[in-house]
Amino acid sequence: MTDARISRIRTEVESRTAELVDLLESFVRIPSENPPGSHLREAQKWIGGRLTEYAIPFESHPTSRTDTNHAVITGTVGSGDRHLYLHGHYDVVPAFSVAQFEPEIREGCVFGRGTSDMKSGLVAMLLAAVIHRDLGGAGRVRLVYVPDEETGGADGAGRMSELGLIETAGCVGAIVGEPGYPDIWYAARGAFTVRVTVTGRSAHVGLHYTGENAFEHAHDIVARLLTWRDTVATRMTSFRIEPEAARSSIVLIGGTSGGGTNFNIVPDRFSFTIDRRPNPDEDYDEARSELLDLLDSFRSDHDLSVEILQDARPASAPADAALLRSVQDSVAVIAERDAPLSMCPGCLETRVYSQHGIPAVAYGPGPSSAMHAPDEHVPITNLVEACAVYAAVLGDLLGYAAD
Ligand SMILES: [Zn+2]
């Protein structure tokens, strides 16, 4: 990209800073908390309203499995075969107080729920697409707004593939606007989460010998799982992540647990969760069956059932993908800083694209330290940087009609 084009983008984005902030504030005022998944329709209406305002054609695709509130909205800017996805979620984690839905500007930041994760990413993407178009950009920018990310994506991004919303031909990449600042996340772990319920037989404490204590059975199962957990933890990823301790493959046992009805009754049920997070360089299917087979092997001594709560594949982009270079170079020229490529410690919806062989990264304005926090915020300079970087990547990978 020429210096002249970069400086046009910069000037354009800087002159629209107030517009970016206004958009973010009005989006944050919609309390699209998930769980429980409230105000989704209001958020969809807001998105549709903004797309209409900026003359961007869009479609709404229902994605609920059980209700009618979820929808993935896709907007398209421009035409041609070459296209790039700009993807983000419009649900936010529950607020610590309703005050988080009344955005506040101080110390050069916008505070409020979703300012970092990730309504800031969505508004920066929207204006970047508009700027790309207005500067004579070529190709198609595909804006994707999904619900349900904060609870696993089964009613959102998880449905995109089956609904035919991923077009691989001509696709140059996908950027997800998650709050990874200052890093660019080029890989993410998978998540295979189950709830194990151990069944016994209840009895009054005085007649305990007629019962079967589900808690004691669970105790034995957990002891065996902990030994396995320690073995899994010796598997280190070769993707870049800090600190060293973060490289281990993960098993979290007992994130939630409970059972029994009272202290004087032998518990007939005890359940606990196992959250397995395979590294992107592990075989996800193998990791999945390893856990299920292990649980199966306990059935000879214990009565247990297993419910799958989350089943999300890992994601990674090839280190030499043009998209990675483009995002990194754009950050370098726009913000004059080196953005490290690293692995996200959590899950990313980049998986939806990388499963189809589309290079995908997460890069967004939100600082990773501020997401989900009671003082969630985004520096306005980050918002401006991200919008300009998205526009520069669009120009770099989709080109300009005049070229
Ligand atoms: Zn997020």
Expressed in angstroms and rounded, the spacing between residue 401 Cα and the centre of ligand 1 is 33
Expressed in angstroms and rounded, the spacing between residue 377 Cα and the centre of ligand 1 is 13
Q: Using only the alpha carbons of the chain, give its radius of gyration.
A: 23
Expressed in angstroms and rounded, the spacing between residue 263 Cα and the centre of ligand 1 is 40
Expressed in angstroms and rounded, the spacing between residue 91 Cα and the centre of ligand 1 is 8
Expressed in angstroms and rounded, the spacing between residue 347 Cα and the centre of ligand 1 is 9
Q: What are the C-alpha distances in Å from 333 to residues 14, 175, 319, 342?
A: 15, 18, 20, 20
Q: Helix 3-15 crosses helix 322-335 at what angle (to 10 degrees)?
A: 70
- Cβ proximity of 115 and 60 under 8 Å: no
Q: What pLDDT does 369 receive? A: 87
Residues with Cβ–ion distance below 5 A, ligand 1: 117-118, 178
Please give the full DSSP string across 96-148, using - where no structure is assigned: SSGGGGS-EEETTEEESTTTTTTHHHHHHHHHHHHHHHHTTB-SEEEEEEES-
Expressed in angstroms and rounded, the spacing between residue 349 Cα and the centre of ligand 1 is 9
Distance CA 111, CA 129 (A): 25
Q: What pLDDT does 312 receive? A: 92
Expressed in angstroms and rounded, the spacing between residue 179 Cα and the centre of ligand 1 is 7
Q: What pLDDT does 371 receive? A: 82
- Cβ proximity of 255 and 273 under 8 Å: yes
User: pLDDT per position in the chain (403 positions), as tens?
Assistant: 889 999 999 999 999 999 999 999 999 999 999 999 999 999 999 999 999 999 999 999 999 988 889 999 999 999 999 999 999 999 999 999 999 999 999 999 999 999 999 999 999 999 999 999 999 999 999 999 999 999 989 999 999 999 999 999 999 999 999 999 999 999 999 999 999 999 999 999 999 999 999 999 999 999 999 999 999 999 999 999 999 999 999 999 999 999 999 999 999 999 999 999 999 999 999 999 999 999 999 999 999 999 999 999 999 999 899 999 999 999 999 999 999 999 999 999 999 999 999 999 999 999 988 888 999 999 999 999 999 999 999 999 999 998 8
Please give the full DSSP string across 320-379, using - where no structure is assigned: T-HHHHHHHHHHHHHH-SPPPEEEESS--THHHHHTTT--EEE--SSBGGGTT-TT-EEE
Expressed in angstroms and rounded, the spacing between residue 234 Cα and the centre of ligand 1 is 29
Expressed in angstroms and rounded, the spacing between residue 118 Cα and the centre of ligand 1 is 5
Expressed in angstroms and rounded, the spacing between residue 348 Cα and the centre of ligand 1 is 8
Q: What is the pTM of this model?
A: 0.92
Task: Extract the tokens encoding 196.
Answer: 């194990």
Expressed in angstroms and rounded, the spacing between residue 51 Cα and the centre of ligand 1 is 21
Distance CA 50, CA 123 (A): 10
Expressed in angstroms and rounded, the spacing between residue 31 Cα and the centre of ligand 1 is 15
Q: Residue 347, exposed/middle/buried by CB under 10 A (0-12, 13-18, 19+)? A: buried
- Cβ proximity of 104 and 112 under 8 Å: yes
